Structure 1
């Protein structure tokens, strides 16, 4: 077995639950007065570390006493949250964990039916939403048999007067000014830390439909300490050089994304800085907020770096930026350099990359922020993480040869919720199978392909199996297959559908496109086009041969429409 580790030394990860790590340990740089979360549109609407501690304990008391979250057993009661960006949503995340519950973020792009699927699969006991998603949440609750008294609406517009509103009677269920407090359970036992689930984040994993990824207390603590080591190392170097680094950024990833959890909710504690929350991402306001708040650090995805590189609107908006990081999908070296030219008054030579997964609580590898010659790499493993590279016969490949990347370490999730077979199939000898194909070269990882079927459109996940199952519900469609194809203009993958019509049925590509557009989330639209075939190529076991679809001859296409 060939196992590779980090050039960073392994860290002595503290045996602490994540809230104790954030609020009470010396590992985190945030001071009591540090403004952790701020509403970008109204900077007066903010919360400090000291204030958030009290709000978390009071909110946790309400969740426990009024709704029974965590009353029977920690890590079993799921709370589904569907919310636009606001400074209260990360505090709610801490509060759910403090009550002993399990946070499960749902995409704001979801239709009601998609939300129903997640709520039922998670067996959620409580729904929390922002005001703009109240009606979908209410409809979801009705379809799932959840009483309206267990649908709560976030009211976070008035500074220092945040609340949750009952969808049943419009009552304010929190009393943050004088309410009783619930102390979270302090965990120091390794077995308890590993066994206690904190999050249920949905991902398609290596293949198939979305599944609930169970993330433990230990996963979150390790992801903070190990995943942010590169950041902390850079901060300490700047301190020693007499040029302190002050972390500030915009949170534009949703809290249904693992990046929203790690980057936007945990980072401000660990780095002692501020996250500015925007309700919804919009490019123009995104760049203006950078200029207004003179932000120093930004994690983003390739389509946004592509927009920055090519937009004539960007001038001095990112002059204050010290660090730029890209993830969720590969970023080409030319694009990285082109975007970097518009950042930090020229002091940023390139955009650093990292690679990770929901199943690994975020980062697996990352490029050190003081390293400038690894623009074609996703970096080295973070501390405490081990990697393997295997071929299709499950045999380890030699360095420099491509293989599926396997990961082990404290960041690897507990498994999939109620999916023992999927959990079993996703692990090999204690290593999680990422489904990504990479090369190990000189201590760095180069991701070159993906075995897994998952499509990532601008960082949002699209499961081909889900689209395929939906397409075959159309009365004219007999069979369907979906793959991701690169859209160089948008610098992202887009879904392309291959369709087999039922005997005697005739369809136009526009009909297929409209069927998806009218019923599924925007990011699942067939932006890669529609191709009609006589038959979907499949193996003897019935598995779709996606590689063959990618290589499909033009002569086998009956009609194609490119959006």
Structure 2
């Protein structure tokens, strides 16, 4: 008799169109925009903006450029990768859609990357073109040189401050964005994207790579397809539109206008899906900040009467505790929290300051973002990450992939149109990410279902999350072990004592303190890894790293050690 399966279902499913992501954004009535709708604007200079009509032209122009000048798509669709490393800009979405329109794959890289980290991503995707913002130019150039990529194939994009400039770092001095639609049309320098309706092609063709660090420490490129982007963009919108219809039935004069603020990195799923895709379907602009700045974030929320945004627990902590917050959020209708679970206490504090409801959501890069969502007219104050989104299926299983009893904790495994088909050029990782029958994606998150709502209680994977960004312990360990004065090392995440919900990377090392100090170890990491990967949790010296007979680090012992230190510290207070 086969094992019992308990499959958790949403309250309903939606039929969504079989179309490619570009057609959905630019040519479908499913997107609540007109030709004159402003899609992207610079928060510091809002006159610097592009409408839907202008965005379509820039997309076709960039698609032509990538295809005919840089040969993206020459090896067939879904094979040629363009890496983009940039701070927030209003034409980033046009680069994203332009790469896809050319038949290429948009590979998002964090603007905080070092040259070594960027070079690794270029090599993994065998990328032949890099697009960067001016502030990332030096890193892009160094990485390109490390990879043997000609600097003529490193393009600097400038679209803030009213600029419209895209040109190679070296060689060709042409500004590829200099010109008008009529001129580009006359010369045949606009490219119409391929319109796709075939279900299999929509599901399987890779158009975007978002990198997710595994417990091995080797970042993996998550394959994101047309279907992934379309379903993740439109299914939550259907749910919101139904809420708005219910609200207007009760209050005929009620009006909702979508306006959001781009304050999170565009290289991660919250920014990529959340700024390139979702707002253009919802029908309103993204006001872009190059990087997060809390006082300006407050200023722009008030100035542009922001009605909706997604953010992460550390920013909600700032909102909850900062005396700077007064009347900046009066226009907010609803906000969402994700990237890490947020305690019910912090949620309540932040809601009081915001004056609106916060809904928690849960998802991964591998699920193209959210797979749970709270309907806007339902409230939860228990700390759950909400019920399932429509079209999602969930099971909760033990280590042998057997379903646990109702109310018991286990690993969340799932199905849905937004779930990736696997990892870029990595069959082993793809196979390991799914159940033995290949049917269910294993999220690595451990949780429980109560009353139709889901609660995250732990992560099976050993990733550390700092400000919503992933830190792989093994990557830090590999770097530390490369130092000739460090004999052994292990890294875990420890809770931020401020109560922000962040985990701080802490290193346990076997080393001689008279030869290498904690400050020197931290400086070594700072010189080699991105800002969010720093050893904010400190450095602890040990005689030996606890390991199993097979050589695996016993992180549970290190966590217990850290917990005892915290308890001892609190007892002394």
Q: Which of the five TM-score ranges fits, normalised by the shorter chain?
A: over 0.9
SS in 1 for 2:506: strand
Contact 1:206 1:434 in 2 (8 A): no
Whether the aligned pair in 1 keeps the contact of 2:506 and 2:539 (CA below 8 Å) is yes
Matched, 1:262 2:273: yes
The answer to whether the 8 A contact 1:64-1:99 is kept is: yes
Aligned to 1:226: 235
Contact 2:10–2:393 (Cα < 8 Å) also in 1: no
1:292 maps to 2:303: yes
Matching of residues 350-365 of structure 1 within 5 Å: 350-365=357-372
Is the contact between residue 45 and residue 161 of structure 2 (CA under 8 Å) also seen in structure 1?
no
Partner SS for 1:43: coil
- Verify: 1:495 aligned to 2:498, yes or no: no
- Is 2:429 the counterpart of 1:419? no
Q: Is the 8 A contact 2:206 2:225 kept in 1?
A: yes
Tell me the equivalent position of 2:463: 454
Question: Which residue in 2 is equivalent to 1:7?
Answer: 10
Asked if 1:551 is matched to 2:554, the reply is: no
Displacement, 1:10? 1.1
Does the 8 Å CA contact 2:9/2:394 hold for their aligned counterparts?
no
Aligned to 1:129: 132
Counterparts of 1:56-71 in structure 2, within 5 Å, are: 56-71=59-74
Q: Secondary structure at the match of 2:417?
A: coil
1:431-469 deviations in Å (ceiling 9; x for gaps): 111110110112111111111111111011111111000
Q: Deviations over 1:154-195 (max 9, x none)?
A: 021364x62311111433123451212111111111111122
1:236: Cα distance to partner? Answer: 3.2
Q: Give the total of aligned pairs.
A: 552
**For 1:100, which of 91, 103, 113 is the aligned residue?**
103
Distance 1:305 1:46 in 2: 28
1:256-300 deviation line (CA, Å, top 9, x unaligned):
101112111111121101110001111111111111111111210
467-476 vs 483-492, which deviates more?
483-492
Q: What CA distance in whole angstroms lies between the structure 2 residues aligned with 1:43 and 1:455?
A: 37
C-alpha displacement of 1:506 = 4.4
Could you state the TM-score of these two structures normalised by the residue count of structure 2?
Answer: 0.93
Q: Distance in 1 between matches of 2:334 and 2:179?
A: 37
Report matched runs for 1:124-273 at 5 Å: 124-157=127-160, 159=162, 162-169=164-171, 170-177=173-180, 178-179=183-184, 180-205=189-214, 207-240=216-249, 241-242=251-252, 243-273=254-284
Provide the residue aligned with 1:395 in structure 2: 402
Q: Does 1:52 align with 2:52?
A: no
Q: TM-score, normalised by structure 1?
A: 0.94
Identify the residue that residue 411 of structure 2 maps to in structure 1.
404
Specify the SS of the correspondent of 1:44.
Answer: coil
- Structure 2 CA distance for partners of 1:146 and 1:452, relative to 1, 3 Å: same
Q: 2:333 aligns with which of 322, 327, 330?
A: 322
* TM-aligned CA deviation for residue 481 of structure 1: 0.9
Give the conservation status (yes or no) of the 8 Å contact 1:232–1:271.
no
Identify which of 435, 439, 448 aligns with 2:444. 435
Alpha-carbon distance change, 121 to 337 in structure 1, aligned in 2, over 3 angstroms: same
Alignment of 1:20 with 2:31, yes or no, is no
CA distance in 2, matches of 1:293, 1:488: 35
8 Å CA contact 2:131, 2:156 repeated in 1 = yes
The question of whether the paired residues in 1 share the 8 Å contact of 2:164 and 2:178 is answered with no
Give secondary structure in 1 for the equivalent of 2:297: helix
SS of corresponding position for 2:361 = strand
Q: Which of 515, 526, 532 does residue 524 from structure 2 map onto?
A: 515
Which residue is equivalent to 2:379?
372
Checking the alignment, whether the CA contact within 8 Å between 1:415 and 1:423 is kept in structure 2 is: yes
Mapped partners of 1:233, 1:501: distance in 2? 60
In the other structure, the counterpart of 1:35 is: 38
SS at match of 2:224: strand
Give the Cα separation in 2 of the matches to 1:138 and 1:54.
Answer: 29
Structure 2 gaps of 5+ residues are none
1:26, 1:386 → 2: CA distance? 28
**Alpha-carbon offset, residue 14 of structure 1:** 1.1
Distance 1:185 1:3, change over 3 A: farther
Identify the range of structure 1 (368-377 vs 273-282) with the bigger mean alpha-carbon deviation. 368-377
Moved more, 99-108 or 205-214: 205-214
Q: Say which SS state the counterpart of residue 289 (structure 1) adopts.
A: helix
Secondary structure at the aligned position of 2:553 is classed as coil
SS in structure 1 at match of 2:537: coil
SS in 2 for 1:291: helix
**Which 10-residue stretch deviates more, 24-33 or 327-336?**
24-33
Pairwise CA distance, 1:505: 7.1
C-alpha displacement of 1:221: 1.1
Asked if structure 1 preserves the Cα contact closer than 8 Å seen for 2:215 and 2:472, the reply is: no
1:300-344 alpha-carbon deviations (Å, 9 max, x no partner): 00000000100011100111111111000011111111011111x
Aligned-residue offset at 1:389: 0.6
Query: By how many angstroms is 1:206 displaced?
Result: 5.7
User: Is the 2:464–2:504 contact (alpha carbons within 8 Å) kept by the matching residues of 1?
Assistant: yes
SS in 2 for 1:485: strand
Contact 2:33–2:281 (Cα < 8 Å) also in 1? yes
Report the alpha carbon displacement of residue 555 of structure 1 after superposing the two structures with TM: 9.4
* CA distance, structure 1, for counterparts of residue 344 and residue 481 of structure 2: 39
Classify 1:123/1:313 alpha carbon distance in 2 versus 1 (closer, same or farther; 3 Å). same
Q: d(CA) in 2 for partners of 1:406 and 1:513? A: 37
